[in-house]
A and B are shown apart, each in its own frame.
Chain A
């Protein structure tokens, strides 16, 4: 099976702009989780979608949002970008949620100038 894919792989934006990142899970996986990875904060959970419903949310401001489509592909959006949003954004998919193994995509590296 093809692995988790993310687009774009790299992105440069300026403060105040918004950005949309995309994640395509492994075929058959219905759960998609998003994480922010920074050198100082490690891997921080953003949110998880399962069957088009957000099931869980981390401690991030409302500028961070997401959605999941009927084919399980997911997008996350960050509005009004701040310098501190510069990070590697990773998505991970699993067959279900909870105790299932998560498989990560290659990530989207976002740089906010």
Chain B
């Protein structure tokens, strides 16, 4: 099955700085990579996703890049704001099921 590794496990950034979270996956057949944001006590919410036929995707302050050769993908958040503080999960589809990374707790310091 798919194995997704996510780094770092915690990330503290100053408001206005950028945050980068990296994930690697094992199944070369994986072709769909969503990112979820989970605020304390709430459900995971999809924030952005990318498919294997695309190398980069951007949505306002959030961008995701995918390197299929190296089997890694990254989430970039620019101009971080306090409301970006949450746990972020990367995931990959392998064998028709989502496998999640362990999560990154992002804290944005005011």
Nearest chain B CB to A97's CB is how many angstroms away? Answer: 5
**In the assembled complex, A33 has its CB within 8 A of some CB on chain B:** yes
Nearest chain B CB to A6's CB is how many angstroms away? Answer: 9
**In the assembled complex, B61 has its CB within 8 A of some CB on chain A:** no
- Does B97 contact A58, Cβ atoms closer than 8 Å? yes
- Give 14 CB contacts A-B under 8 Å: A33-B97, A35-B100, A42-B100, A42-B101, A43-B44, A43-B89, A45-B97, A45-B98, A98-B32, A98-B93, A99-B51, A104-B36, A104-B45, A106-B42
* Chain B residues positioned under 8 Å from A107 (CB to CB): 43
**In the assembled complex, B28 has its CB within 8 A of some CB on chain A:** no
In whole angstroms, how far apart are the Cα atoms of A48 and B99 in the complex? Answer: 12
In whole angstroms, how far apart are the Cα atoms of A33 and B97 in the complex? Answer: 8
A contact patch SS:
strand
Interface string of B24-39 (1 = CB under 8 A from A): 0000000110101000
* Chain A residues positioned under 8 Å from B31 (CB to CB): 99
- Does B44 contact A97, Cβ atoms closer than 8 Å? no
In whole angstroms, how far apart are the Cα atoms of A105 and B103 in the complex? Answer: 18
* Chain A residues positioned under 8 Å from B51 (CB to CB): 99
CB closest chain-B residue, reference A98? B96
In whole angstroms, how far apart are the Cα atoms of A55 and B97 in the complex? Answer: 9
Nearest chain A CB to B95's CB is how many angstroms away? Answer: 7
CB closest chain-A residue, reference B49? A101
* Chain A residues positioned under 8 Å from B99 (CB to CB): 45
Nearest chain A CB to B93's CB is how many angstroms away? Answer: 6
Question: Beyond A99-B51, A102-B34, is A48–B46 a contact (Cβ under 8 Å)?
Answer: no
In whole angstroms, how far apart are the Cα atoms of A99 and B49 in the complex? Answer: 10
**In the assembled complex, A90 has its CB within 8 A of some CB on chain B:** yes
